[in-house]
Structure 1
Amino acid sequence: MRSALERLSEGLALARGAVERGGGLAPRELAALAERHGAHPDQVARYAELLGSREEVKGMLGAREGDVMRTLRANTLRVDRDELASRLEAKGASVRPYRHAPYGLVVEESPIPLAAYHEHLLGLFYIQGPASMLPVLALSPEGASRIADAAAGVGGKATQISQHNPRSPVIALDVSERKLMALKANASRLGAFNIVAYLMDARGIGSLGEFDRVLLDAPCTGEGLMPFARGRRPRPQGEVESAARVQVELLESALRSLKPGGELVYSTCSTNFEENELVVHSVLEALEDSGAGHFSLVDTGLDFGDAGAVEYAGISLPSQFRLCRRFYPHRHATEGFTICRIRRS
């Protein structure tokens, strides 16, 4: 019986071969695109293998911060979206509803930085990207009695979960003490008082019992943040492979912590196949073969985005992987993101 890591390694070897072949692009073109856009040639080859055309690759590499919607999340624990919009517009901002999230606003213009608004200091909103809001919507934590955010970071999504379910405990895990201090500050500012933070690696989540809902917004290469100055850096194939190996271990542990009937949302701010569908497939197959329970992909419930990838580098996945959702800066005006929702029977 092969482990999830062994299955992942087989897939990574096939993906590495495709990247080494340039994803169908000539070496000179590959190098030129990488240099022009501050990317690694491996990155360009991954995009070519995934997206399938030069025009799409150039669109993906050419996306910049101005191509991504600037959004914020109204904190419905303290204010509704319409009231917040009125308050911001009275101070010279131009905003409109973000139609894919019931509490989201798209900021068209603002005379001052968003963090400088008094409303931000009062905890009436959280600055959050358009795709970053979607994993919690896919999780649907309303009514769940035990919820975990297995890689909570500074608490953007943990506090969003609190908006959906302010009564049930939200167990927030992270390995960074610095990030958990920021989470504490954000939760206090936003009035999300049902969050309990643990300084721990999510690979040990099983020690905390079982959960109805788990969000694993996994640590990743951040390849989907390429449009932003802070995210524009080369990402070689070795970095992607290292991230995927950690993600497999985190996902397997998180899925084992689900109650029967429970659901997990796996997401990354990355668009590559290796960190997303390949990770999920490797873990689901290994768990099924080990007799650990039956897990299946289910519809995310999201109303836009592209279907998950089922063909890549000679790897064919079951059609259910189309239920995952993919977001690209040049197609959807969001950060690059991938989201999959998994149910334990």
Structure 2
Amino acid sequence: MEKAKRSPQERRGAATTARAAALRLLLRIDGGGYSNILIDSLMQSGELPEGERALAAYLVRGVTERRITLDYIIARLASRPLAKTDPDTKNILRLGIYQLAYCDRIPAHAAVNETVALARQSSRGFVNAILRAYQRTVAEGEFPFPEKGGKNKTARYLSVRYSVNEPLCRELLAAYGESRTENMLRAFLEPPPLTLRVNTARTGRDGLCRELEAAGFAAEPTDASPWGIRTSGAGLPACLTGDTPTAFAEDEAAQLAVWVLDPRAGERVLDACAAPGTKSISAALEMEDRGEIVACELHKNRLPLIEKSAARQGVTIIRAVCRDSSAPWEGEKFDCVLCDVPCSGYGAVRRKPEIRYREPAESADLPALQKAILSASAEALRAGGTLVYSTCTVLPRENEEVVGAFLEGNPDFRADPFTLPDGTFAPNGMLTLTPDMPLGTDGFFICRLVKSDIA
């Protein structure tokens, strides 16, 4: 292979370039950039050879996911407070410690030498000393993390061990207990699968699995969604590209929200918070592109995203409208309503690692908005119709508590039990999925509500 023919000097230069690119992106993330967008931009650029881009992306993703853990280690080893360390040096140290702690395939000497080379001359001694101190510490055993014991100590331990902000750990402990919380946080550090939603108007799931395998991808049907495929491999599958794709990317949990809604051909469906439009498209496919879907979006500039996505998938019954879905509904009623509300997003931390650093207090006003959207959406539902309330968070105050408050004030609605195709049962009509569960989906909440058929 070409890589094997390079000289040691070339390989060393390539590694330095990859680390320099990673450092540049980490500094932009510190300034408010989003890691997934920056990584996608890097991977699509011709800035570096493909292998070096992959290394840079791997380092950026890993450092972003493990930042609290890395900062804890650095603070324990450094003689100066981390807050007084300049951003360049801080991120260089994060890069170095991450490679030493989590990158088994990168030789320790390369991790140290190439990382130190990124630093300014005046900081190289400091960076080298911290990295060498880490090596000496772990040579005697695992790096010492905080101890468990009591609610606050356990929250601190989980925060450092799994790199999630401490207030969120406390809230999860209160909701799920220690064992379930730790399992969930551990799963949040695993790479998420690429899950496809098959365009069943253009191909079948079994046939697409065979096509993916023939192209060198691993592919298997999802366990619960009848439309999903889990796949992995190098590059982007051809079924996602071109003007007539035969699938689109959507986590299995999001697919299940539409499955639970169960829209039928010829019905009128309201998608209250539709962008980017994948759930509307999924509903249109299930409806055989017969009926009507009104896809609401608050921000007018996002309407073309819904329209273009629908056109690429070949569905015609979606009508995108600019509307504040928390406003009272006035107009014709719908047979089904999907209420996939804005949320804190804590269920999606595998895909958007910055979310793990947002404290729950930052989203304290969301339940009021969610209740307003749910109440307004319920007004749009006909008697006897079905409403699905869903979020991509795992916090009960945005899920069960919102639904509970709604049901108390709306006796004409009831939660409707359901069973997923894999046998997962929601006896009270509510289901919280987390990545540590057998399905391995993102964190997601689904509730099915039915309106009394007495008008």
* TM-score bin, normalised by smaller chain: 0.7 to 0.9
Asked if 1:342 is matched to 2:445, the reply is no
Q: Distance in 2 between matches of 1:260 and 1:123?
A: 37
**Partner amino acid, structure 2, of 1:242:** D
TM-score (norm 1): 0.81
The answer for unaligned runs of 5 or more in structure 1 is 1-23, 289-293, 309-319
| Larger RCO: 1 or 2 (CA < 8 Å, sep 6+) | 1
Contact 1:220/1:243, CA 8 A, preserved across alignment: yes
Q: Distance in 1 between matches of 2:218 and 2:436?
A: 23
Deviations 1:185-226 (A, max 9, x none): 110110111100001111236124211100011110001012
The CA deviation at 1:99 is: 2.7
Contact 1:25/1:45, CA 8 A, preserved across alignment: no
**Partner amino acid, structure 1, of 2:448:** R
Q: Which has the higher helix share?
A: 2
Counterparts of 1:1-345 in structure 2, within 5 Å, are 25-52=150-177, 54-64=178-188, 66=190, 68-107=192-231, 109-114=232-237, 117=238, 119-121=240-242, 122-143=244-265, 145-165=267-287, 166-204=289-327, 206-230=329-353, 232-288=355-411, 294-303=412-421, 322-332=428-438, 333-345=440-452
Q: Which has the higher strand share?
A: 1
Contact 1:306/1:327, CA 8 A, preserved across alignment: no
Contact 1:328/1:335, CA 8 A, preserved across alignment: yes
CA RMSD of aligned residues (A): 2.1
Select the structure of larger CA radius of gyration.
2
**Partner amino acid, structure 1, of 2:267:** S
The CA deviation at 1:228 is: 2.9
Q: Distance in 1 between matches of 2:326 and 2:151?
A: 41
Q: Distance in 2 between matches of 1:278 and 1:303?
A: 26
**Partner amino acid, structure 2, of 1:58:** E
User: In the superposition, relative to structure 1, how do residues 267 and 84 fare at CA in structure 2: closer, same or farther (>3 Å)?
Assistant: same
User: In the superposition, relative to structure 1, how do residues 80 and 186 fare at CA in structure 2: closer, same or farther (>3 Å)?
Assistant: same
Task: Report how many residues are paired.
Answer: 301
The CA deviation at 1:302 is: 1.8
User: In the superposition, relative to structure 1, how do residues 100 and 306 fare at CA in structure 2: closer, same or farther (>3 Å)?
Assistant: closer
Question: Residue 356 of structure 2 aligns to a residue in which SS?
Answer: coil
- Of the structure 1 ranges 195-204 and 175-184, higher mean CA displacement relative to structure 2 is found in 175-184
User: In the superposition, relative to structure 1, how do residues 119 and 223 fare at CA in structure 2: closer, same or farther (>3 Å)?
Assistant: closer
Question: Residue 78 of structure 1 aligns to a residue in which SS?
Answer: coil
TM-score (norm 2): 0.62
Q: Distance in 1 between matches of 2:170 and 2:424?
A: 20
The CA deviation at 1:33 is: 2.1
The CA deviation at 1:182 is: 1.2
**Partner amino acid, structure 1, of 2:223:** R
